Structure 1
Amino acid sequence: MDTVKKATYIRVSTEGQNTGRQEEIIQGKAYIEKISGRIPFKERKQGSKLLKDVANKEINYVIVEDINRLGRDTFDIVETINTLVKQDCTIEIVRHGLKSKKNGKDDFFFTLMTGIMASLAEMDYMSNREAQRQGIAVAKIKEVYQLHAGKGKMSNEKYLEQHSDIIEMLNDGKSIRNTAKIVKKSKSTVQRVKSFIEKQKECSFKGV
């Protein structure tokens, strides 16, 4: 029986984000990087290194917290999974309790579910990005957003840029509490950003 050589891939989007929560799942060698999820997996420094180590048979079991760690969109995620599977590498997705192999054999259910989840992840991301884009457009028309009472004004575009880390976490489906913990900002700040995005989305739908 082949020796299991595990590795864990961890990614967060910005330098300001903490990898601590994902580090709780680490087994074996850890590949950790802070890079935008919109960069193809094979073009990431640690992503490409992981693929190379798998190809060289140094790793044969890869663990990730969620499927969206493996690529920027449906095609990229599926391509990454297929590349690993072709190298006889087992993939474990912790959040959903999925493994690409069961009893040493490829699991059809894993292939089916990861394809569906990759598509849903991309659809959710694009939907949130479009809402954000519309919010920025509305913000430009309105010119200014009152950030805090008595603390001056800031353009909506600058406001969204300043809190891009919060927006990405919310787009990933994280709760207000978890987002605040990950980006190290207060829950009230996260709530304000969330409310602002929803307000801009509502305004855009109304054609404001």
Structure 2
Amino acid sequence: MKVKYVRWSTLQQKPSRQLLDANSFDKVLAEQASGTVPFAERSKGKELLALITNRKVTELYVEELSRLGRNTRDILHTLDICEDNGVCVHVQNMGICSLVNGKPNTTFKMFSHLMSVIAEQEKENILERTTFGRIAARNRAVVFGRKVGTHENKAEFLKKDKSKAILKYLDGIHSIREVAKLTDTSAATVQKVKKIAAELQLL
């Protein structure tokens, strides 16, 4: 089966460009998810991995490598799963694929490692730009976050992809620092998730 995976990060973004060739595939898996969420923790990512490990997929197409994620280790792990199950991965914006005549493409391996590092670096650049933007906005007295007098429901907070990823590692084995590193979050966020989960008797 020929599958295309489509991901966009925010509700403000539109996946239309990635879906222009949707009719060319047997199946299109599309979702709105942060690239920092591990691939296996995403709804469509999980579905795709199940299809791959069950040998239902022969070719996987992504518009660019960063659609798989913005964490080098996670991207390479996903590509390894594809290779182990005979799936040829096509990165469309670069016109390159992981298999040539059924054999691993060494050029793709070098390229994918480089591009995954670039994708992760771009994530850091985005965070840096966001931070500077917030500082500049605060200097202009712009207020961020929820409206004054409102609060986020605790259960809703734990339903977020990032919170669910953190909960997976709150098993009493991993330290707060380790969980933060594994999920690409801050220790403060991990502490918040842990506190709320404990209050709701989920731990």
Shorter-normalised TM range: 0.5 to 0.7
The SS at the match of 2:31 is strand
Match of residue 14, structure 1, among 2, 10, 14:
10
Partner of 2:93: helix, strand, or coil?
Answer: helix
What's the TM-score, normalizing by structure 2? 0.66
Residue by residue over 1:113-169, the C-alpha shift from the partner in whole angstroms, topping out at 9 and shown as x without a partner, is 0100110121122023113213323433x242xxxxxxxxxx1646xxxxxxxxxxx
Give the conservation status (yes or no) of the 8 Å contact 2:6–2:63: yes
Distance in 2, matches of 1:97 and 1:118, equals 16
**Alpha-carbon offset, residue 71 of structure 1:** 1.7
Conserved in 1, the CA contact under 8 Å of 2:70 and 2:119? no
- Secondary structure in structure 2 of the residue aligned to 1:96: coil
Q: 1:20 to 1:135 in 2, by over 3 A?
A: closer
In structure 2, what is the equivalent of residue 127 of structure 1? 125
CA contact (8 A) 2:70 2:116 kept: no
Q: Output the CA distance in 2 between the equivalents of 1:99 and 1:156.
A: 46
Name the structure 2 match of 1:69: 67
User: Matches of 1:50 and 1:86 in 2, distance apart?
Assistant: 14
Choose from 93, 97, 100 the match for 2:98.
100
Q: What is the identity percentage for the equivalent residue pairs of Structure 1 and Structure 2?
A: 29
Q: Which moved more, 1:52-61 or 1:14-23?
A: 14-23
Instruction: Flag structure 1 segments of 5+ consecutive residues without an equivalent.
Output: 145-154, 159-208
Distance in 2 separating the partners of 1:114 and 1:130: 24
Measure, in 1, the Cα distance between the counterparts of 2:125 and 2:106: 29
Q: CA deviation at 1:72?
A: 2.9
- Which runs of structure 2 are paired with 1:22-41 in the superposition (5 Å)? 22-26=18-22, 27-41=25-39
Unaligned runs of 5+ in 2: 146-203
Q: CA deviation at 1:36?
A: 1.8
CA 24–125 in structure 1, closer or farther in 2 if over 3 Å, else same: same
Does the C-alpha gap of structure 1 residues 116 and 156 become closer, same or farther in structure 2, counting only changes over 3 Å?
farther
Matches of 1:134 and 1:17, distance apart in 2: 21
Partner of 1:91: 89
- CA–CA distance in structure 2, aligned partners of residues 15 and 137 of structure 1: 23
Could you tell me how far 1:100 is from its partner in structure 2? Answer: 0.3
Aligned twin of 2:164: none
> What's the CA shift for 1:14?
2.7
User: How many aligned positions are there?
Assistant: 143
Q: TM-score, normalized by length of structure 1?
A: 0.64
State the match for 1:59 in structure 2: 57
